[in-house]
Amino acid sequence: MIESEANCEALPVKWKQHLALALPSPHTNGCIWIHACSVGEVASIAPLVTRLLEQHHPIHLTVVTKTGMGHAKRLFGETIHISYLPWDLPGRIARLIDHIKPGLLLLTETEFWPGMLNACRKREIPVIGINTRISDRSFPRYRATKWLWKWWLQPVQLFLAQSSVDATRLSMLGIDNERIEPAGNLKYAITPPEVDAGRIREMIDPSGVRPILLAASTHHDEEKQILSMWPLWKEVVPDLVLILVPRHPQRFDSVAVDIESAGERFDRWSELNGSRQQYPEQIILIDSMGVLQKLFTIADIAFIGGSLTPTGGHNPLEAAICGRGVVTGPHIQNFREIMGEMRTAHAAIVCRDALEVEHAILRLLQHPDELRQLHARATIYMNEKSGVLDRVLHAIQPWLTALNGNQLKGK
């Protein structure tokens, strides 16, 4: 090992694990190794993890980002082993694999690392791609180097694609059709959060009757755009409450400055306790992680951020599973198929620009009957999409059966 012990001790755990200098607690042979990059991927595999745990499979989850690690710990606690993925360098990934000794690797979306796949091939560890997705942005790059990817992806025995579009793109990269199965998006397998909605409502609105507009997962510049729309909405509905949920925690303070610069008063979520005699301010800044899903249960109108800027939008299903239709801006490419289906089902309003967002929310505030219909259609849509988790489990069952057999033999 090149690094000295002193230098190793000085590194944070995250970097120690990225460098494979610190290894997680080992499993017994034959655990299921799941790799999910960040928050979105971790959230999508949560229902699958739950079902696999019910079948008594030991699980080791690797992530790349700090936010992904935090979300994984919030979701799973001590029920599974969680660590950062080592960098895809010679010997680093192999060191982790030889330590945790997985019997099966499940890779989410497009987390295909050549070194990882090669190490699994050498050790005869089956690899399955789950929730496989090839985005509009990345597909041209994959196709330009498809001769490389066709070779690199040989160890993947099955790709469970999110959609028929993703399945077609995999085929265009030279993957045999026998190894591709459109199974659907695991994001549909989410369940409503188990929360005390009344308590959350009381913290934000002690009266229990003020309408709540939730701006979820907003990005740079979106809060300013929403705040510019706020006076019109408040003029029409004077007791309206606006909840701003920035996507990234490092932006909490800068968003607070934006609110102050707009001349508005606000409260921070971290300072609310629900016991004050006076009402909270009409604008609430969420400055804590892991709160958003709970807030969908009390929102009257849900706007999905990342859609007024070229970010590509965020997952609308977190709102839909709580019976909430959504309003978005035009940039929805990250969830194009889902948003297209929700629009067809009249469970989402996709606006062409910020002005349309302003008018769409204004209309919903003025026509509560239309808002109720939007939410009802979101509920119907989610009910019709149930079953993806069973399809994924059915598809990987041969490998799970083999895994159980190997564990019984003590392999």
Q: Which residues does the annotation mark as catalytic?
A: 41
Tokens read off for 129: 């791609």
Residue carrying structure tokens 């399809």: 391
- Sheet strand arrangement including 326-328: 267-268, 283-285, 241-246, 212-218, 301-304, 326-328, 348-350
Residue carrying structure tokens 């959060």: 193
Closest residue by Cα to residue 128 from 409, 368, 394, 410: 394
Closest residue by Cα to residue 351 from 222, 252, 168: 222
How far apart are alpha carbons 332 and 316 in whole angstroms?
A: 10
CB-CB contact of 30 with 101 (8 Å):
yes
Strand 241-246 and strand 283-285: pairing?
parallel
The residue count of the chain comes to: 411
Q: How many CB atoms lie within 10 A of CB 45?
A: 26
